[in-house]
């Protein structure tokens, strides 16, 4: 159902509005009785006031729109389900791991060297990973390959080992400059494991890694 376009505006400009007594509110209208117009005006006015307040939070398309610095608060064990959301990770979010020569950070980017660079994805249980992309600057020749993978690490007791989600994305052409390694079409749902994007190069060193963009939803 589409969002209605008309608010039932009533008695918000003029007219007599009289709040009924508490006993009248308790019992409501009595069959065969006669209620004053001012009482009806009070009821209709507050119905309008509440609907106008609720209307202010929803766009014409029916999507929830909150004022600046306002949050959605979920109580109990419920979860906030949402559509596709984009996450961004700066180079400062990356973790260098030695693999012969750990990546080094300088002037806002990472020199990959011959180690690994991990970008942990800040996800929660129930989130579904849809895509990821890594920006790099490849200035080396065709003999050097830069690669990126989505990796899942289990955290359950007694479970060891990592697994790759999707396929490895690689580029090896001669000095293409700024490039992106990316993968879309994923449907990986987080169920208590951790995930990270792993970036590395083989056949040489000297290329740079910048940030990561990823998309996810919570169906």
User: Which of 52, 71, 90 delimits the end of a domain?
Assistant: 71
Residues 130 and 203 in one domain: yes
pLDDT value of residue 30 = 87
Contact call for residues 187 and 128 (beta carbons, < 8 A): yes
Counting Cα atoms < 13 Å in the Cβ hemisphere of 169 gives 21
109 and 14 within one domain: no
Count of the separate structural domains present in the chain: 2
Considering the domain architecture, whether residues 53 and 111 belong to the same structural domain is answered as no
Which domain CATH number covers 138?
2.60.120.260
SS3 136: strand
208-217 pLDDT, tens digit each: 999 999 999 9
Q: Are residues 175 and 134 in the same domain?
A: yes
Task: Please tell me what DSSP assigns to residue 92.
Answer: G
pLDDT at 31 (0 to 100):
87
The residue among 45, 71, 97 that closes a domain is 71
Predicted confidence pLDDT, tens digits, the chain (219 residues): 788 889 999 999 988 999 999 999 999 988 888 889 999 999 999 999 999 999 988 888 888 877 777 777 777 777 778 889 999 999 999 999 876 678 999 989 999 988 899 999 999 999 999 999 999 999 999 999 999 999 999 886 565 789 999 999 999 999 999 999 999 999 999 998 999 999 999 999 999 999 999 999 998
Residue 158 is predicted with a pLDDT of 62
End of a domain among 50, 71, 92?
Answer: 71
Which of 161, 172, 183 has its CA nearest to residue 207? 172
**Do 57 and 124 have their domain in common?**
no
From residue 66, alpha-carbon distances to 3, 58, 60, 123, 216 in Å are 17, 8, 14, 23, 21
The answer for 26, left when phi > 0, alpha when psi is -120 to 50, beta otherwise, is alpha
Query: Is residue 76, in this structure, part of any structural domain at all?
Result: no
Q: What is the pLDDT of residue 156?
A: 65
Q: Quick one: DSSP state of residue 4?
A: P
The tokens describing 161, both together, are 């080992």
Residue whose C-alpha is closest to residue 49's, from 26, 72, 1, 17: 17
Per-residue confidence (pLDDT) for residue 105, from 0 to 100: 93
CA distance 128 to 77: 19
Check whether residue 102 and residue 57 sit in a common domain.
no
Residue 7: C-alpha distances to residues 44, 55, 72 (Å): 11, 9, 25
Q: Is residue 59 part of a domain?
A: yes
In a shared domain, residues 50 and 87 = no
Query: Could you report the per-residue pLDDT of 69-115, keeping only the tens digit for each?
Result: 777 777 777 777 888 999 999 999 999 987 667 899 998 999 998 88
The answer as to whether 159 is a domain residue is yes
Say how many CA atoms lie within 13 Å of 40 toward its Cβ: 6
Query: Which structural domain, as residue segments, surrounds residue 54?
Result: 1-71
What pLDDT was estimated at residue 46?
96
């Amino acid at each position: 159902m589409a969002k209605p376009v008309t608010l039932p505006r009533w008695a918000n400009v003029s007219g007599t509005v009289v709040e009924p007594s508490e006993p009248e509110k308790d019992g409501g209208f009595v069959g065969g009785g006669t209620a004053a117009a001012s009482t009806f005006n009070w009821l209709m006015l507050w119905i309008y006031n509440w609907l106008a307040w609720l209307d202010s939070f929803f766009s014409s398309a029916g999507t929830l729109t909150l004022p600046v610095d306002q949050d959605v608060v979920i109580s109990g064990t419920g979860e906030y389900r949402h559509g596709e959301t984009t996450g961004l990770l700066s180079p400062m979010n990356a973790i260098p791991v030695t693999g012969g020569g750990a990546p080094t950070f300088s002037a806002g980017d990472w020199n990959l060297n011959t180690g690994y660079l991990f970008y942990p994805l800040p996800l929660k249980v129930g989130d579904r990973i849809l895509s990821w992309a890594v920006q790099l600057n490849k200035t080396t020749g065709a003999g050097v390959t830069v690669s990126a993978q989505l990796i899942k690490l289990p955290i359950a007791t007694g479970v060891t080992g990592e697994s790759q989600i999707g396929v490895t994305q690689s580029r090896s052409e001669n000095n293409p400059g700024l490039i992106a390694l990316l993968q879309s079409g994923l449907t990986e749902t987080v169920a208590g494991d951790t995930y990270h994007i792993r970036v590395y190069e083989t056949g040489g060193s000297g290329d740079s890694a910048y940030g990561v963009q990823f998309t996810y939803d919570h169906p």
